[in-house]
A and B are shown apart, each in its own frame.
Chain A
Amino acid sequence: MIAPTTPRKDMVMFIVFAIAILTLPIWMAPLGGSYPDLLQKFAIFGLFAVGFNILFGLTGYLSFGHAAFLGVGSYTAVWSFKLLSMNILPAIFFGMITSGLFALIIGYVSLRRSGIYFSILTLAFAQMSYNLAYSVLTPITYGETGLQLAQYDPRILDAQATVEGGGIPLTNLFGLEMQGWPGFYFCAVVLIIGFYIAMRITRSPFGMMLLAVKSNQNRMNYTGLNTRPYTLAAFVISGIYAGLAGSLMAVTDPLAGAERMQWTASGEVVLMTILGGVGTLLGPVLGAAIIKYFENIFSAINESVLHAFFGFLPDFIENGLVNVASLFVGKGWHLTLGVLFMVMVIFLPGGVIEAYDRIRKRFFSKETRSSAAPQAGDD
């Protein structure tokens, strides 16, 4: 799985990655995806997937409840906006802290088991959080309405900083409002930092230890090493990443709902990671971007678009094709997602990165180049 790399190659990859992310608005423009909402999602879910990959990709523990940490991060961030200040730094800080604590508790319990039992345990915990958020914890989570900002929030630190006319102020970083493009650039910078940290973790002795746990945990135990602290650390780190992603969601759009914690949301991040390439650095970000991009494109297509697309065909073929295709677009986008999911797992368990490697091997087998360039996201 791991190609031999050098620090220099990593650095090159990182710089290319950083430039690619920061120039997203430019080169996404021809693809019709150059607007802040979508690109923010790229960055946030990319971060989520990078964090998830630290757990799943390195240790092989498949968590089916990671969305719980995302939700906790979101809730904490919104509460920080409500109680403390509209400045995003405390929101992010507290979002990371609480989700980290949450991950510590859940991880401590769940990591006593491995394999499918671990998946079920994390799933059980996530479902518990989800159900509680909808029922007993409504004073904190506001149940189905979701947690929103309100005018009468205390906001101890900047209570006086209300917008003229009594509106709710926007989330900001020392005055820089986090909506639209500034919001995207902030998320992008956080993603780049998160990516760098993930890269350092992967290449560190700690990361090697996690990989060793993945390949043969028994052997690690027989050598007299207690693997649990390592897996727990990985779990907490990935939980913090998820919390960070959740608080970024709150930063760009200050509300939080329990549906972010549902297990289908956990399934989505698993899919992103798999689609991109488990255990690779760039894979999860790519997977997140591809899914969010296609979600955006596919759910916007409706029947008239399809009719225009297949318009050159004879009528009866056109109508048939439109009927079939309309299952897969618009509201039926999830069907495409499910099919994609299956196809990926069946034919390409290594994800896009593996596909890229195969193609590269076929055409450039003479020399080995550095790892995949981010532009592979175009396809």
Chain B
Amino acid sequence: MDAIFLQILNGLDKGGAYALIALGLTLIFGTLGVVNFAHGAVFMLGAFCAVTLNKILTLSQRIRDESVTFFEAYKEVPYLEVWFGETGSTLIEYSVPISILVAIPVMLLVGLAMERGLFRFFYNRTHAEQILVSFGLAIVIQEIVKAFYGANPIPQAPPEIFAGSANIGAMLGMSEAIVYPWWRLVYLVFAGIVIAAVFCFLQFTTFGMVVRAGMMDRETVGLLGINIERRFTIVFGLAAVVSGLAGVMYTPILPPDYHMGMDFLVLSFVVVVVGGMGSLGGAVAAGFLLGVLQSFAAMAEIKAIIPGIDQIIIYLVAVVILLVRPRGLMGRKGVMET
């Protein structure tokens, strides 16, 4: 029982990342009908927002180390600490959460630039061509990041108070053995908040209502005199923000490197397909579901029965779902059923 609970928890944080990326993908697909293979790169860019901010915050000055008296020793001290003392070091410690504030405008701009600069020319082309051009874009983004940051993963530390593990078992009155890193818990809550925010935005604002109407019947909304294209462009930006934030917060869990986007993209596409093309709820549900399934498959007991299942479970589920339920878990009727 405890083991099962722990595995569910373990799966949820990865599932949170899948769900956020898949949510972005589905937003783009549902509104603009574009299959965006560059979305993983957006996730990766978000992660590198955090890396960049951390680098900026820790820009250092060489000053003399007073504690060493035998010889002239120097140490690197970040400017922030020199200028603001304690406040400065706290700022540095919280660089990952602070990156969220930076990442939102940056990712919005990235999203808008991608849509205006590239994807709007591809609405009338085939899906194959959309896949290909976004695949090319993903390679380009990836290689540029690699040129600036190198190929090695760059670890990011979470703030001190989230560094350890939470004894969830004791809190919930279950076994003491259930411990879970604080930051993953934070990530889970964060993913929940972002998902809830996106859904609230679509559900309770006029803008969201128009977008939802546009997803159902773009032409009619256009005929009502609403500039649906512009709203969809903003939705594209929003989708980029969602994935970017997923990337920012994921950095303490997985040190970002240039190809993390590709790794997540393939899985997220599978998630989208399992959830049902164009279904936002489906994408989120499938994201968490597949995350949990993956962590269950990684259990030693399961691996003993079916060796290697942890490596292929997601794809296997996708294949089965695609064959027996072509619409995906929650796909609407008529959306890309062929």
User: Of A125, A131, A137, A349, which is within 8 A of B129 by CB?
Assistant: A349
Pick from B129, B140, B143, B316: contact of A345, CB below 8 A: B129
Contacts A113-B326, A267-B135, A335-B147; is A124 near B318 (CB within 8 Å)? Answer: yes
Q: Please provide the chain A residues from 318 to 342 with a CB less than 8 Å away from any CB of chain B in the complex.
A: 327, 332, 334-335, 337-342
The residues of B that contact A264 with a CB separation of less than 8 Å are 262
Contact B135 A128 (CB under 8 A): no
Chain B residues near A114 (CB, 8 Å)?
338
Min CB–CB distance A90 → chain B (angstroms): 29
| Docked-complex contact B270 and A120, CB < 8 angstroms | yes
How many angstroms between the C-alpha atoms of A345 and B37 in the bound complex?
Answer: 14
Q: Check A332–B147 contact: CB distance below 8 A.
A: yes
The complex places the Cα of A248 from the Cα of B221 at a distance, in Å, of 56
Residues of chain B within 8 A of A172, CB atoms compared: none
- B239 contacts across to A, CB distance below 8 A: none
B202 to chain A, nearest CB (A): 24
**Does any Cβ of A come within 8 Å of B319's Cβ?**
yes
Q: Which residue of A lies closest to B267 (CB)?
A: A127
Check B153 for interface membership: any CB of A closer than 8 A.
no
Segment touching A, from B82-90, B249-257, B306-314? B306-314
Contact with A along B256-291 (1 / 0, CB 8 A): 000000100010011001000100000000000000
CB pair A132–B312 under 8 Å, yes or no, is yes
> Would you give the 0/1 interface string for B103-144, flagging 1 where the beta carbon is closer than 8 Å to chain A?
000000000000000100100010111011101111110111
A15 to chain B, nearest CB (A): 33
Given contacts A114-B338, A124-B315, A263-B266, contact A327 B135 (CB under 8 A): no
Indicate if the CB atoms of A341 and B136 lie closer than 8 Å: yes
Task: Tell me the smallest distance from the CB of B139 to a CB of chain A, in Å.
Answer: 3
Given A62-B128, A123-B266, A341-B132, verify A117-B322 contact (CB < 8 Å).
yes
Q: Does A274 contact B (CB under 8 A)?
A: yes
Which residues of chain B are within 8 angstroms of A345 by Cβ–Cβ distance? 129, 132-133, 136
Bound Cα distance from A301 to B139, whole angstroms: 20
Q: Determine if B322 and A338 form an interchain contact, defined as CB atoms under 8 angstroms apart.
A: no
CB-defined contacts of A120 to chain B, threshold 8 Å: 269-270, 273, 318, 322
Nearest 10 CB-CB pairs, A to B?
A136-B308, A338-B139, A341-B136, A335-B143, A131-B311, A342-B136, A124-B315, A338-B140, A345-B133, A128-B312
A117-159 interface with B by 8 A CB criterion: 117, 119-121, 123-125, 127-128, 131-132, 134-137
Restricting to A83-125, which residues have a CB under 8 Å from any CB of B? 109, 112-117, 119-121, 123-125
Residues of B close to A112: CB separation below 8 A:
323
Main secondary structure of the interface of A (DSSP, over half): helix
The verdict on A211 contacting chain B, using a C-beta distance below 8 Å, is no
Instruction: Let me know if A121 and B311 touch, CB within 8 A.
Output: no
Measured as residues with beta carbon below 8 angstroms from the partner, the interface class of chain A is 35 or more
Residue B35, interface by CB 8 Å: yes
Is B336 positioned at the interface, with any CB of A under 8 Å from its CB?
yes
Distance in angstroms from B12 CB to nearest chain A CB is 22
Q: Which residues of A contact B270 (CB under 8 A)?
A: 120, 124
A342 close to B131 (CB less than 8 A): no
Find out whether the CB atom of B135 lies under 8 angstroms from the CB atom of A341.
yes
CB closest chain-B residue, reference A114: B338
Q: Does A346 make an interface contact (CB < 8 A)?
A: yes
Judge whether A270 is part of the interface by a CB distance below 8 angstroms.
Answer: yes
Mark A residues whose CB is within 8 Å of B. Answer: 60, 62, 64, 109, 112-117, 119-121, 123-125, 127-128, 131-132, 134-137, 263-264, 267, 270-271, 274, 327, 332, 334-335, 337-342, 345-346, 349
The reply to whether A125 and B338 contact each other, CB–CB distance below 8 Å, is no
Minimum Cβ distance to chain A for residue B28 (Å) = 13
Q: Indicate whether A116 sits within 8 Å of B336 (C-beta atoms), given known contacts A335-B147, A338-B136, A339-B140.
A: yes
A-B CB contact pairs (8 Å), 21 listed: A109-B323, A116-B336, A117-B273, A117-B322, A125-B315, A128-B312, A136-B307, A136-B308, A136-B311, A271-B132, A327-B144, A327-B147, A332-B143, A334-B139, A335-B147, A338-B136, A338-B143, A341-B136, A342-B133, A346-B133, A349-B129
The answer to whether A119 touches B131 (Cβ under 8 A) is: yes
Residues on B with beta carbons closer than 8 Å to the beta carbon of A346 = 118, 121, 133
Q: Complex: how many Å from CA A88 to CA B139?
A: 36
Does B135 contact A127, Cβ atoms closer than 8 Å?
no
Residues from chain A with a CB closer than 8 A to the CB of B312 are 127-128, 131-132
How far is A345 from B135 in the complex, measured between Cα atoms in Å?
A: 10
Question: Which B-chain residue is minimally distant from A133 (CB atoms)?
Answer: B311
Q: Which of B118, B136, B308, B318 has the most CB of A within 10 A?
A: B136
CB-CB < 8 A to B137: which residues of A?
Answer: 338, 342
Docked complex Cα distance between A60 and B139 (Å): 24
Alpha-carbon distance between A284 and B233 when the two chains are bound, in angstroms: 36
Determine if B139 and A113 form an interchain contact, defined as CB atoms under 8 angstroms apart.
no
Closest residue of B by beta carbon distance from A112: B323
- Which A residues are CB-close (under 8 A) to B311? 128, 131-132, 134-136
Contacting residue for A116 out of B127, B308, B318, CB 8 A: B127
Task: Tell me, in angstroms, the Cα distance from A274 to B125 when the chains sit together.
Answer: 15
CB-CB under 8 A from A341, the residues of chain B are: 132-133, 135-136, 139
Looking at the assembled complex, report how far the CB atom of A221 sits from the nearest CB atom of chain B, in whole angstroms. Answer: 11
- The smallest C-beta distance from A132 to any residue of chain B, in angstroms, reads 6
Nearest-neighbour CB distance to chain B for A358, whole angstroms, equals 18
Inter-chain CA distance A263–B267, complex, in Å, is 12
What chain B residues lie within 8 Å of A115 (beta carbons)? 127, 336, 338
What is the bound-complex CA distance between A338 and B258, given in angstroms?
15
Q: Which of A117, A119, A334 has the largest count of B CB atoms less than 10 A from its CB?
A: A117
Question: Chain B residues with Cβ under 8 A from A117's Cβ?
Answer: 273, 322, 326, 336, 338
Residue contact A335 to B323, C-beta cutoff 8 Å:
no
**Pairwise interchain contact A121-B322, C-beta atoms closer than 8 A:** yes
Q: Which residues of A contact B140 (CB under 8 A)?
A: 335, 338-339, 342
Q: Which of A116, A267, A335, A338 has the most chain B CB within a 10 Å cutoff?
A: A116
Contact A121 to B147, CB < 8 A, known contacts A115-B127, A131-B311, A263-B266: no
Q: Quick one: which of B79-99 are within 8 Å of A by CB?
A: none
Residue of A nearest to B138 (CB): A338
Give the chain A neighbours of B132 by CB distance below 8 A: 270-271, 274, 341, 345
